[in-house]
Amino acid sequence: MAAIGRFQKGDDVFFAKVVDGELFLMHGDMFGTPTFDKKPMSAKGVRTLAPVVPSKIVAVGLNYADHARAIGQPLPKEPLFWFKAPSAMLADGAKIELPYQHHRVDFEAELAVVIGRRVKNVTATAAPRYIFGFTAAQDISDRTVQSSESQWSRGKSFDTFLPIGPYIETKIDPSNLTIQLFQNGQLRQSSNTNQLIFDCYRLVASISAHMTLQPGDIILTGTPSGVGPIQSGDKLEVRIQGMAPLINAVK
């Protein structure tokens, strides 16, 4: 497998392998040993969905060394994480909705980990065996709400506040990937996953020590420096090396 996407055509929702823009229908369990059609299917009338349906989404904060330096914060000794509602998920190409006209809402480009096997108390060394793949995401955040509460989930879980996808890349090394965000064509965030304080495997180990992770669960690994506000009419594009870009407009 390489890039795997989730799609809808009419009333049918299905997974497919994506090769050079063509879709090869998947049969069987995505997290097991699926098979694929040998001939591509017609893409006419096919809509891209969020690439997975998780039982939970664990977001990690202050996890890029350059971000911590930029805001004058010491490097954390343990991962800081919270939950983001699965109902916040948004497909590539769909629109981010701003719930309050006068609130500050920020973009945050992130690399997302997709869990592939049930995991509890795994070591960082063994963690790669439990990861299905990786995808691009944004942890959209209502700072007005977030700053008014000690808990961050509400300000980060409005509907449409988790653009993700378009596909899951299953054959990629997450340790040294460029990550960028463009706002209306202007580069706003630019870093590399080698700046992660806690890399993907250490995050799986740390989180699985506290809770069981299930196939399809998502870990948002944090955002680099350069986060900023969005407004209606913006076009946001997350580009992570080796992945299809994640593009969403704001309304």
Task: Say whether pLDDT at 16 is over 80.
Answer: yes
Task: Say whether pLDDT at 196 is over 70.
Answer: yes
CATH architecture of 3-48: Roll (2.30)
For residue 149, the model assigns a pLDDT of 84
The pairing of strands 22-27 and 35-36 is: antiparallel
3: left (phi over 0), alpha (psi -120 to 50) or beta: beta
**Residue appearing with tokens 């990937």:** 177
Task: Say whether pLDDT at 75 is over 90.
Answer: no
193 secondary structure, DSSP code: G
Task: Say whether pLDDT at 183 is over 90.
Answer: yes
Class of domain 57-250: alpha beta
**Residue 176, strand partner residues:** none
> Sorting pLDDT into bands at 50, 70 and 90, what band is 1?
low
Task: Say whether pLDDT at 189 is over 70.
Answer: yes
For residue 38, the model assigns a pLDDT of 96
As a whole number, the mean pLDDT across the chain is 96
Nearest-angstrom CA–CA distance, 151 and 142:
12
Q: What stretches of the chain adopt beta strand conformation (E)?
A: 3-9, 12-19, 22-27, 35-36, 47-48, 57-61, 80-84, 89-90, 95-96, 105-107, 109-115, 131-138, 141-142, 162-169, 178-183, 186-192, 218-220, 228-229, 235-240, 246-250
pLDDT in tens, 85-108: 999 999 999 999 999 989 999 999
Question: Are 168 and 131 in contact, with CB atoms under 8 Å apart?
Answer: no
∠ CA 235-47-10, nearest 5°, is 145
Output phi, psi for 155, to 5 deg: -70, -15
Sorted by where each begins, the domain ranges of the chain are: 3-48, 57-250
pLDDT in tens, 42-64: 989 999 999 999 999 999 999 99
> Sorting pLDDT into bands at 50, 70 and 90, what band is 71?
confident
- Give this prediction's pTM: 0.96
> Sorting pLDDT into bands at 50, 70 and 90, what band is 66?
confident
